[in-house]
Amino acid sequence: GQQVMQIPQYQHVQEGEDFTTYCNSSTTLSNIQWYKQRPGGHPVFLIQLVKSGEVKKQKRLTFQFGEAKKNSSLHITATQTTDVGTYFCAGDSGSARQLTFGSGTQLTVLP
C-alpha cells in the first residue's frame, strides 16, 4: 500500500533559525496536504498542493510539491515560539479513498 515517509522525526531550533521538514511518498500523489498539531491539540489543515512543482507561501511558511509529485517539503523561515508543534504531511494518491499521513516532525523552538 501507499506509504508516506517524513523526516526528521524531531527538530530543535533556536528561535530565528529556519526549519524544514521533508515528505516522500512511495507512489505518485494526486495532491498533498499539510497539517499542524499544537501540543495537546488536534491537527489543523494548513495547505494543499496539487500541481507538479507547485510552490505556495503563507507568510514565513513555504510549501513545495516535487516535479514527480512524490515528495514535498515545508520550510519555515525565522522560526518563532508560536511555530512549536508537530507538522504532518498527508498524501492523497487519488485512487485511494483516504489520506495517508506521514509520521510527523515535532518542532521545538528554543527562545
Partner 1 sequence: EAQVTQNPRYLITVTGKKLTVTCSQNMNHEYMSWYRQDPGLGLRQIYYSMNVEVTDKGDVPEGYKVSRKEKRNFPLILESPSPNQTSLYFCASSLFRGRGTEAFFGQGTRLTVV
| Residue 52 in contact with partner 1, rule: CB under 8 A | no
| Residue 104 in contact with partner 1, rule: CB under 8 A | yes
Instruction: Give the angle subtended at the CA of 10 by the CAs of 6 and 16, to the nearest 5°.
Output: 110
Contacts with partner 1 by CB under 8 A: the residue count is 26
| Residue 59 in contact with partner 1, rule: CB under 8 A | no
Q: Which residue among 11, 25, 33, 64 contacts partner 1 (CB under 8 A)?
A: 33
In the bound complex, what is the minimum distance in angstroms from residue 14's beta carbon to partner 1?
A: 25
7: exposed, middle or buried (Cβ count in 10 Å: 0-12, 13-18, 19+): middle
What is the rounded distance in angstroms from the CA atom of residue 34 to the CA atom of residue 11? 17
